[in-house]
């Protein structure tokens, strides 16, 4: 993020006025990408204990994190009963419902402003159903 900020600052202060804006964007992305790859390769990895605490704290889905969790259980730094299974399908459904809630509410306001009441009521209904689904699912996700 620091590299990206510095590159954007340099470009915005006009040090490279001769470079067209679309090439500055590509150059900025390239410099930032090289920077984060270099920083990633030069910094130390997580210790297994830190990775296990991270995964168990966030209730991440076990798929890609399973080797980290298995190693932590084998080393005794994490207990099997401390692992809360993720509910990824329900979480994704709530994410989609949240999008419907936000856009339904936004479109409803727009339709009310333009006095298109039938469409506004449909959008209010979409937002309400989405909100109800999210409200009911919240407890299941955080059991």
| Together in a domain, 58 and 93 | no
State pLDDT tens for residues 109-130: 999 999 999 999 999 999 999 9
| Together in a domain, 137 and 119 | yes
Number of domains in the chain: 3
> Which of residues 77 and 6 earns the better pLDDT score?
6
pLDDT band at 70 (very low <50, low <70, confident <90, very high): confident
| Together in a domain, 52 and 27 | no
pTM of the model: 0.53
**What pLDDT does 141 receive?**
78
Per residue, what are the HEC states of the chain? CHHHHHHHHHHHCCCCCCCCHHHHHHHHHHHHHHHHHHHHHHCCCCCHHHHHHHHHHHCCCHHHHHHHHHHHHHHCCCCHHHCCCCCHHHHHHHHHHHHHHHHHHHHHHHHHHCCCHHHHHHHHHHHHHHHHHHHHHHHHHCC
State pLDDT tens for residues 1-58: 899 999 888 888 876 677 887 888 899 999 999 999 999 899 887 776 777 677 666 6
Domain region containing 70: 48-82
């Amino acid at each position: 993020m620091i590299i990206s900020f510095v590159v954007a600052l340099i470009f915005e202060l006009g040090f490279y006025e001769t470079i067209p804006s679309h090439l500055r964007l590509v150059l900025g992305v390239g410099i930032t990408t090289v920077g984060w790859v270099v920083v990633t390769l030069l910094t130390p990895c997580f210790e297994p204990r830190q990775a296990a605490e991270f995964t168990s704290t966030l209730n991440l889905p076990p798929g890609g994190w399973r080797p980290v969790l298995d190693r932590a259980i084998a080393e005794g730094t994490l207990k099997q009963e401390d692992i809360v299974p993720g509910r990824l399908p329900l979480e994704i459904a709530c994410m989609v419902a949240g999008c419907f809630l936000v856009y339904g509410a936004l479109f409803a306001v727009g339709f009310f402003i333009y006095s298109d009441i039938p469409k506004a009521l449909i959008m209010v209904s979409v937002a309400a159903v989405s909100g109800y689904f999210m409200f009911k699912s919240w407890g299941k996700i955080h059991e």
